[in-house]
Structure formats: C-alpha cells, structure tokens
Structure 1
Amino acid sequence: MADLPSDDKKSDPLLRALGKIGEGSGFLWKIFIISIIPAIFSGMHAVSYVFTAEIPSHWCELKELTLANWSKENVKSISSASSCTFYNYNYTYFVEIGYAEALKYTKEHTFPESLKCTNFLFGNELDRKSMVEEWGLVCEKSHQRATVQMALSLGKTIGAISFGTLSDKFGRKKSFIIGVMLSTLSGPLSAIVPWYWAFIFLRLVIGSSHTAILSATYTILTEVAGNKHREWMGTAYNCGYPIGTIILTGIAYLSYDWRQIQLTCSLIPLILILFIWFLPESPRWLISKGRREEARDIIEKTYGKIIQDNTRISISTIESTVMKSIKLKSERNKKINSFYRNFQSLKLLCSHPELRKRSAIMSFCWLVASMAYYALALNGTNFSVNSYLYTFLLGLTEIPSYLLPIPLLMAMGRRTSTSLLYFISSFALLSILVIPESEKNIIMVAGLMGRFAISAVFGVIILYTCELFPTVTRNTAFGTSSGMSHFGSISAPLIVDILGSKAWWAPSTFCAFFVLFAGILSLTLPETKGRELTNTVEEELQESKKFEKSLCC
C-alpha cells in the first residue's frame, strides 16, 4: 500500500475533509454502529458452547434391557460400573428374571469384569437436549466435544490470516461482504446438519466469517475516526462482545434444544445483510490505492463539495502529485527482492537480542491472556455453579474491565499495570484452592475476579505491544504477538475438558500459574509511558536505555 508524502498529507483536501468528518459526524456514527453490532453477534457464538455442549449424566446403554422396556434408572442401577463402563453380566438372563430379582442377584454376587460402553443413556437433569447427547460426545469421544470450540477459534485464526491480506489488497468492504455471505450460509446450516463433522466444518467457517466481518468494520472505523473519538470508540467496540454474552444467556434460558440456540444465534446476524448497502468502503484505503474519485464521492456526501484547499492547490494537482509518488514508489519497489521485502521486518525483529526478548515475552503474554480468558468462560461447569448466572456475570463484569486500564495506564504506566493485572488474576485463581468446594458462590466470585483482571490485561498489552517496538518492526511484532492469542483460545476447551475431568479446580489452577509467570516476565520489559515512538531499531534501543536511566534517576 503506497503512502502519501508528508507534505501531501497536510495539503491533500480529501484527507483534510476526512479528518474533519472523523472529528464528529453522522457518517462516523454510522460506521461506529455498523462496527459494534457484529461484535455482539460474535460474542453470542463464542460462548454458545457453554450451553450447546453441556454434559449430562451418562451411563452405558444395554440393548437387551432397553428392548425389555427397563427404565434408564433401572439400567443404571443394575449395570453401571462408571459413567463409561458396565458390568459384564448375562443381561438376557436378567430380562427373564426381572428387575427385582436381577438387583438381588447383583447384591449377592461379586461384580464381574467391566467393559467399555458402546452406546449411552443420558440423564434428564439439563434444561435442554445437548449436542453431547445427540452425538455421544463422552468418554472416548470427549475430545470431540472440545473440538467444537476449537473449530471456532481455528476458523478465527484462518480468517485473520486470509482476510487480513484480502482486505488490504481488495478493500475492507469486499472482505465484509464475503464474511457476511459466509456467515449467512454457515450459521443457519450449522443448526440443522445431522452430521458431527459437517457441523465442525461449518463452525470453522463461522469463525472465519466473524473475523472477516470484525476486522473489516474495525479497520474502517479506525481509518475514519479522528483522535478525539478513536480511543473511546475502540473501548466501546470491545464492549460488544460481553453484551453478546449477556444476550446469549437469555436465549439459552428460553431454549429447549441446543439446535434452537444455534439457530437463534445464526438468524439474528442476518441483519448484517442490510449493512452491505450502508457500509462504505474506507475512503483512506481508496486514497492510498489512487482511487480518489471514489473516495471523494463518499466524503462529499457528508462533508459537502470539495473544490480546493486553502493554498489554492487543486485536486487534480494533488492527484497528479500523488500518482507520481505512487509510480516512483512502484518503480523503486520492483528493484527490491520480493521475499526480502516481505520478511525484512521479521528479519530485523529477530536480529536483535533485545527485540527478540520483547517479542517472545509479549507473544507469551498474549497467549496466556487468551488461554485464561476463554478457559474461565468455559469453566463454569467445573465450578458447579449456575451456568446462566455465571455466564451472565461474565458478560456484565467484562464491560467495566475495558475501562479499568485507562486510570491504571495514567497512574502506573504500561509495565506496572500489565504485571499488576496478571498478578491480581493469578491470586484470584489460586485462592480457589483454599475455598471449600461447597462454597460455590465464593468460588464463582474468585473466578469472576480472575476473569475481570485478565480481560483488563488486553486493554493494556494492545497499547504496550505497539510502543515496545520501532516503526520498522511494529506491525510484524504486533501481528506475531496477537497471533499467539489464537493458540491460547484454541487450547482453552482442551484445558477445561481434560484437566476438569481430573479435578474441578485443575483448569483454573493451571491458568493461574501461567498467568503468574506472564506477570513476572512482563516486569523485565522496559517502561514506555511518556516516551516518544521510535522509527528505527537503533533509535529504539538508544531511547529505551536513556528513558530507563531517567526513571532510575
């Protein structure tokens, strides 16, 4: 993407008009509303797993007993060795003598060997039928339950890679349209397909479509909003996710089947189809691509007619200058090896020990924050708390967590704020170990406190990551670090399911130790509060040393 020369940025009437619009206009508010609504829908899908994949009590189904019309409870009391095994009795004989005599027989004789279940019966304690019951995702298939959530996270990762490039090359709106179309097809279809692996594929597509939609709308918002509104709009945008979590709680409470939840979460976002006609292409992207007439048409609908700037330079003159600059850059770029050009930033990032250290630490911090964030959202079942109340409070407490970093950053700086939030989260999660299992409400409060702090971490490390690196490596460092967060979200359901099956406190404790380690590592990073951003690696290293020395003195 070609950049405008600095002088042209100041004198370009299109960019100046766009800046005026970004300071406050109906156009800006329209972009903001279109941006925040998809975030709400994404939050609904991301947490729906809590209700659609609930695990009911289960035990082995014995065909002989089922065909003889024995009740589920009678089958369980006679045959169940565990939730995944049954005693190897002669069940044909049990059918002949009846339940009462069979029960007497089991009490008078030693238990035979136990065998693994091939089919299951499920209890009726849940408020709805779960996909776990429909597809038998228990025991040896329990990993397939976690795959449901992993597919969504993997889809988001694939979407971030593919649609980020597509958006830069072909435009933000095209990426948005493709995302909406994919969501429109995959969402409702995922609620009706009878095959597990087809559902997993559609879940992956849903994740990719959400990334396409969210990245496109957020990029347009940041490219339109001026400094006056960009910060608070970014915070408000993040609140869309917990709002979706709160709405999902109501949908789940009123639903009697997991497919109804899936369908509702997929039909509501169909409103995004209407946004295709209201969402404009990013004027800033159009200008950078030399498509100035299209950008002018969009800007003039709000700003009014643009004739010339204050220095009497006509648009045609500016366009001529801009196109000349783009042409010169294009000719110069042809002389640069394409492979070197694409990976030059990564090479710089890896060639300096200090930058390597910072990148490794921030990547770990992003991974741990995402892992703990999603693991705690999915861990309500292991806490044995009311899933509706827990999920509702997760969304409710997450909203103020996005506001907490603002005073922290002003008072303590980046490094101290980051480590403090990690330590608070770790302390809250470790405190669960000393709380009696019977004190469910206290356990829930501790879990919510840990989740609150880890949610607030994101508001700090986003800014901190950008400030730790010079311009020549900033985008690569940020992309690498934030990209690690997807691995954290992918691992979260496995942590909850595998460790949760061993001990109810294991997932939260596992996350606590990693969160604690992330907090300790963040203390080794330099402070960046009040320091100017640097452009080159050498400048960054020099300024960092000077700034740290001034803090010590």
Structure 2
Amino acid sequence: MDRYKRYRSMKMHQSSVKELPLEDGKQKHQSDDEEDDIISAAIGNFGRWQFKLTFLLSLFNIPCTWHIFAPTFHAAPRNHWCGRPAHLIDVPVTKWINISQPVDECSIYNVNWNNYSSKDFIDGTVSTVGASLVPCTQWEFEGINAETVVSQWELVCDKKQLINIAEMMFLAGVAIGGFVSGVISDRYGRKRTLMGSVTIQTIIGVCIAFCPWFELYLILRACLGFISVSVVFSGFVLTMEIVGGHWRTIAGCSYLFPVPLSYITISGMAYLLRDWRDLQLAISLPGILFMTLYWVLPESPRWLLATGKKMKVLQILQEASLYNGRDLPDNIDKQLEVPTLQTDGHQSAGVADLFRTSQMRRNIFFLFIIWFSVYLVYYGLVLNISNIGGDLYINSVLSGVVEIPSIAVSILFLMRGGRRWPLCLTLAFAGVACLLSVIIPTIADYFDSDVDIQWLKTACAHMGKFSVSSSNAVMPVFTAELFPTVIRNLGVGASNVSAGIALMLVPYLWNLSEMDVRVPMGILGICGIIGGISVLFLPETGNKPLAATVEEQESPVPNSPHKEKKQEETFTLQNPTPNITIIPTSNAMA
C-alpha cells in the first residue's frame, strides 16, 4: 500500500501511464489541466512567476528579428549612375545620364571627359559619335548623405550578387548555429547559453556598425546569424520548460508575438535612421538591457532536474512557489530524489541520442522535411509579397500586422485540435494557396479570358502567407514536445539545420522565374503539401507531459484495451536505477 502511494507521488516518471487504477477499482483519468509532473505539481502549471518569465523571454525575439530583417534596409535599392568626374560635378544628373550612359547604369561612353566642361553639357556640344561603351569604374547614388551597404561598397552591376551572398552568410550562420547552440544548451544549461549568446550578439552587432571592409561585414554577419538563432532557441526552450499543461501551448505560441511587432518597430527606426550604420547601432545597443536580465532569469528547473542538480531545483521551486503564492509539498526533497535522470547511465546526452532509437530517427527525419517546407514557403512568400511594389516601409509594417492575428489563431487551433492536425492543415493549405496562384492564371490564359485576375493571385498569396505564418507558430511548440528534456534544445537546433538550408535557397528561388514565372510559386506549393503530409507521420504530443529522458520518450503509451489491462498488472518506473515493480493495492489485497 505504501509503495503504491509513493509511486503515485512520483507520477512525473510515468509519462507513459495515462490511467491509474484506484483502490476501489475505478480509474483516474488525467485531465488537460492536471499538473503532469513534479515541477508543475510544486509551483503550478502557470502563475505570476511563469507569466513574468515568459513575457521577458519573448522579448529576446525583438533584437534577433531586427538583425534578421535589417538587410532589407541595409541594402535598400537606390538609384545610381556612373559617377561624374570632379570637374563635371555641377552638370545636372539627368543631362549627364542621357549623354554619357544611354544604355544602362553599368556602362558609359569611352570618351575623354576631361575635354569637356559643364558648359558644354548645358549647351549640348558634347559629342559621343563613334564612341564605344565601357564598364563604369565609379558610381554615384541618390541621397548619398544616407549610406547603405550598397552605396558604401558599390554593390552594383558586377558586384550586385554580393548582396545575396551577404544574406546567405547570415543564414548559413543560422543553419549551423541552431545545431551547435542546441548541443551547448543541453550540456551547459538554457540560461547560460541564452545570456552568453545575447552578450556576444550585442558585441557583434555594434562591431558591424563600425565595419570598414565588406569582407569583414560578411564574416560578422555570419557570426551574428550563428549567435542570433542561439538566443531564439534557448529562450524558446526555457519558456517551454517553466510552464506546464495546456499553458505550454499558449506560452509557446505567445513567445512569437514580438516577432511581427519587431517588423513594425524596425520599419519605423529605418524610416528615421536612413544611414545603415546608425540603424545597426540602434538595433544592437538595446542588447545591453537584455544582458541585465541575467540576475532575473532562472535556469530551467526541468533541465536541472534532468541533470541531477537537486539543490538548485529546490532553490528555484522555493522562489517560484513564493511568487505564485503556493506552498511546496512537505516531502518535495524526497520526490526529487528519484529523477537523477541520465541517458544509459551517462551524465549528459549528445548528438547520437537523436538517432539512437527508431522512433527518434523517424521523428528527426520528418522534422527535417517539415522545417525545410515551412521556412521555404514562409520566406518565399514574404519575398514575393515584398516585390509587389509600393513603399518599402509600409509593406514591412503590413507584413507584421498580418502575422499578429495568425499567431493568435494558432493558439486556438492548438487548444482545440492538438498539434499534428493544425500544423498539417495550415501547411498544406499554404501549399494549395500557392498552387492556386499558378493554376488560376493558367486557366484564364487557356480560355483567353480578358478578366483581370491579378487580385485573385494576390489574394492567394496573402492566404498562403497567413496560413504558413500559423504553421510557423505551431511548429516550434510541436518540435520541442517531441524531444525529451536531455536533448530538447539539441533536437530543436538540429531541426533548424534544414530550415537554414531553405533560407539560403530562398534568395535564388525567384531566379527560376526566368524559366517560367509559375515555377517559384509551384515549388512553394508542392513543398507546402509535402510538408503537411509529413506531419501525419509524427506522434501527437498535445496535453501530454514532457518526457525527461529518451527512455521515457520511447516508453509505450497505453492506447488499447490490451495494454491498459497489462498496465493494471504492473507498473515499472523508468529511471537509471534498477526497475521497481509496484503491485496495485487491489491486486495485492486479492
């Protein structure tokens, strides 16, 4: 009897058990709101303590999103032309362009301009008859008092592709950083990884603002991408591990609310600070404020528990329970004795654990496909919508405004429909919307219709953007819940590798429109549908406690009458110590 009661007090380690037989033979069903592990049982699934921390952690998205979105303004397109010689600087720009470079802004007549004066241009006596065209060697830019990286290093004509390379360097850093930061975070903790990353992020951001060479700019942007993704993922995993129950869903999606707000705020800053160096400083210096949160944020109690640091867990639980107005159980220290969680007796888990079991290998394979699809469709549509014309700053604000309701809707989807189906349907619908934007014009062309269907194409693109924005909110929550605590940050980071590859492909995806204008959207549509179908091969994680170890993740869930009957016979605690078999009271009395 005493052994069975002790078992029930340690139900955190029975994540595989959904029903426990009571003494009278009835069964106790876990509700969605039930505190599903010892951490939640001690401090509650969500309270004032969790609200304060999840709010502060979500704010870390702001500087990261600023840095990701900054190249939109750093390399904003500007009118340019072949530079005038010093003695012709008074020649009106229009006359200079019409006479010296009639073809494009990359070539100029091979004429000795020293033979002409400003007056010759005004009088129209300059002769270019028989002159050949040669590449420009210097350029002038409109609004030269406000520099961009394009005007700073003359990234035009033959150097124009360097703009895409600069963005690829950042995204390559994102791809690598997501994986490496996961290893570091799972080994050294969420808090240390987060605070160390935000410190380095601030330093690199400020250094970029004073960068004198484009080559150094490329290197620093790659390092910034490496660090920024570490900030985002460490903060996200810490958010997921300090809340419990259905609040994981709400907190996980709400973590992304500052992202669209960041699009809006950087648009305002960029409008006021037109010089790219001033803007870079403005988005980097706020990192100093986030560094002060080192003395506010705790380490993840679940990570500490998973790594056997019992005393530190107790300190955090005491602080949290006091803040939440709850009393800790009298025997909390004893309940924390069993979960000295390890992986096969080792102190820490590693990359190999992502592929150690067939279920883990299956999960990581399909997550690679899903993350690749979501990021390719999401950023592919963002890039497409940004090219529809109009004011750059207004379009950026609208892009953020559209995402706010999408994230809110995602929370409702997750609360009502679990994880798999909301992610499957939103991603697949985004793919269908992309394909419709291709099919509708094709049908109209086939019937030689004169009806203007541009609004339909635009509507399909916006529907796809709205839908995949919801997928982008659901996906991190689902991914984090698919991995046990000991490798959760590593698992999320590993999944991000395929997302980084997708991001690097996006700038070049639209080059395929030279083959056929329907190709880019067609690819996005196919990827969206494939990604949506891939979700169905993953297990549902909604309303289930977070697993602590790989063994716990792999333990069978009683989902059939046969398994339920077997579960009533014996209960086996999954932990590094020898298995303890506990006989239920009803059977013992028999």
**Unpaired runs of at least 5, structure 1:** 544-553
1:346 pairs with 2:351: no
In 2, the alpha carbon distance for the partners of 1:6 and 1:162 equals 38
In 1, Cα distance between the equivalents of 2:524 and 2:171?
A: 20
Pair 1:7–1:120, CA change in 2 (3 A): farther
Residues 351-366 of structure 1: pairs in structure 2 closer than 5 A: 355=362, 363-366=368-371
Mapped partners of 2:486, 2:470: distance in 1: 28
Task: Tell me the CA shift for residue 197 of structure 1.
Answer: 2.1
Q: Which residue of 1 aligns with 2:136?
A: 117
Q: Deviations over 1:442-466 (max 9, x none)?
A: 8766644432222223245556778
Structure 2 counterpart of 1:31, one-letter code: L
Distance change >3 Å, CA 375–CA 321, structure 1 → 2: closer
State the match for 2:468 in structure 1. 454
**Aligned residue for 2:292?**
274
Report what 1:548 is aligned to. none
Residues 342 and 360 of structure 1: is their aligned pair in 2 closer, same or farther, counting only changes over 3 Å?
A: closer
Q: Among residues 363, 371, 383, which one is paired with 2:388 in the alignment?
A: 383
Aligned 8 A contact 2:374 2:427 in 1: no
User: Of the candidates 398, 402, 411, which is equivalent to residue 403 of structure 2?
Assistant: 398
Q: CA offsets per residue over residues 16-74 of structure 1, 9 Å max, x none?
A: 354442423222122112211111222222222222211212222253x6556434333
Q: In the aligned structure 2, how far is the partner of 1:277 from the partner of 1:535?
A: 33
User: How much has 1:251 moved relative to structure 2?
Assistant: 0.9
TM-score norm. by structure 1 comes to: 0.77
* Structure number having the greater helix percentage: 1
How far did 1:241 drift?
0.8
Match of 1:216 in 2: 234
Counterpart Cα distance in 1 of 2:460 and 2:410: 20
Tell me, yes or no, if the aligned pair for 1:349 and 1:477 is still in contact at 8 Å: no
Give the Cα–Cα distance (whole angstroms) in 2 for the partners of residues 457 and 43 of structure 1: 18
Counterpart residue identity of residue 145, structure 1:
I
Paired residues of 1:222 and 1:230 also in contact (CA < 8 A): yes
Give me the whole-angstrom Cα distance separating, in 1, the residues matched to 2:412 and 2:332: 45
The Cα shift of 1:278 comes to 0.6
User: Which residue pairs with 2:312 in the alignment?
Assistant: 294
Letter in 2 for 1:28: Q
Aligned match of 2:100: 79
- State the shift of 1:272 in Å: 0.2
Worse overlay, 420-429 or 175-184: 420-429
1:36 aligns with 2:50: no
Please say if residues 32 and 221 of structure 1, whose CA atoms lie closer than 8 Å, have aligned partners that are also in contact: yes
Q: 1:239 aligns with which of 216, 238, 257?
A: 257
Query: Deviations 1:243-299 (Å, cap 9, x if unpaired)?
Result: 100111111222231222211111223210221111111122222222211221121
Q: 2:276 and 2:287 mapped to 1: Cα distance?
A: 18
> Which of 507, 518, 526 pairs up with 2:527?
518
Structure 2 residue corresponding to 1:373, chosen from 361, 375, 378: 378
Structure 2 distance, partners of 1:359, 1:297, is: 35
> Greater shift after overlay, 298-307 or 128-137?
298-307
**How much has 1:320 moved relative to structure 2?**
5.4
**Within 5 A, what are the aligned runs for 1:68-147?**
69-80=90-101, 81-95=103-117, 98-100=120-122, 105-106=127-128, 109=129, 112-124=131-143, 128-147=146-165
Structure 2: runs of 5+ lacking an equivalent: 1-5, 14-34, 545-550, 561-590
User: Aligned partners of 2:481, 2:231: CA distance in 1, in Å?
Assistant: 27
8 Å contact from structure 1 (residues 432, 446) kept in 2: no
- Cα deviation for residue 186 of structure 1 reads 1.3
C-alpha distance 104-443 of structure 1, shift in aligned 2 (>3 A): farther
Q: Is the 8 A contact 1:429 1:446 kept in 2?
A: no
Quote the Cα distance in structure 1 between the aligned partners of 2:496 and 2:44: 27
SS state at 2:46 partner: coil
Q: Verify: 1:203 aligned to 2:221, yes or no.
A: yes
- Cα 1:466–1:229 change in 2 (3 A) is closer
Aligned length in residues = 512
TM-score (norm 2): 0.73
Distance in 1 between residues matched to 2:280 and 2:441, nearest whole Å = 32
Task: State the identity as a percent.
Answer: 22
Query: Which stretch of structure 1 is more off in the superposition, 393-402 or 138-147?
Result: 138-147
Note closer, same or farther for the CA distance 1:165–1:467 as it changes in structure 2 (3 Å cut): closer
- 1:183, CA displacement in angstroms? 1.9
Contact conserved, 2:377 with 2:468, CA < 8 A, in 1? yes
Please name the residue that 1:257 is paired with.
275
Q: Match of 1:238, SS?
A: coil
Decide whether aligned partners of structure 1 residues 372 and 90 sit closer, same or farther in structure 2, where only a CA change above 3 A counts.
farther
Residues 465-484 of structure 1: pairs in structure 2 closer than 5 A: 481-484=495-498
CA distance in 2: counterparts of 1:244 and 1:479, whole angstroms = 22
Query: 1:1-20 alignment to 2 at 5 Å?
Result: 9-10=10-11, 16=38, 18-20=40-42
Q: Which amino acid aligns with 1:485?
A: A
Kindly provide the CA deviation profile for residues 385-421 of structure 1, in whole angstroms up to 9, marking residues without a partner as x: 2111111110000111223445667576654443223
> How far apart, in 2, do the equivalents of 1:362 and 1:386 lie?
37
Kept in 2, the 8 Å contact 1:422–1:457? The answer is no
Corresponding residue SS for 1:121: strand
Amino acid at match of 2:133: S
RCO higher in structure (CA 8 A, sep ≥6): 2
Secondary structure of 2:155's partner?
A: coil
Equivalent-residue separation in structure 2 for 1:295 and 1:537 (angstroms): 25
Map 1:417-456 onto structure 2 (within 5 A).
417-428=426-437, 447-456=461-470
**Structure 1 match to 2:172:** 154
Quote the residue 1:488 is aligned against: 502
Cα deviation, 1:56-109, whole Å, max 9, x if unaligned, reads 12222253x655643433332222131211222332334498214656634xx3
Q: 1:76 to 1:391 in 2, by over 3 A?
A: same
Mapped to 1, the partners of 2:204 and 2:100 lie a distance apart of: 41
Q: Which secondary structure state, in structure 2, belongs to the residue aligned with residue 384 of structure 1?
A: coil
Kept after mapping to 2: 8 A contact 1:182/1:205: no
| SS of 1:402 mapped into structure 2 | helix
| Partner-residue secondary structure (3-state), 1:204 | helix
Aligned partners of 1:17, 1:350: CA distance in 2, in Å?
26
Choose from 52, 55, 59 the match for 2:81: 59
Aligned to 1:165: 183
Deviation at 1:150, TM superposition (A): 2.2
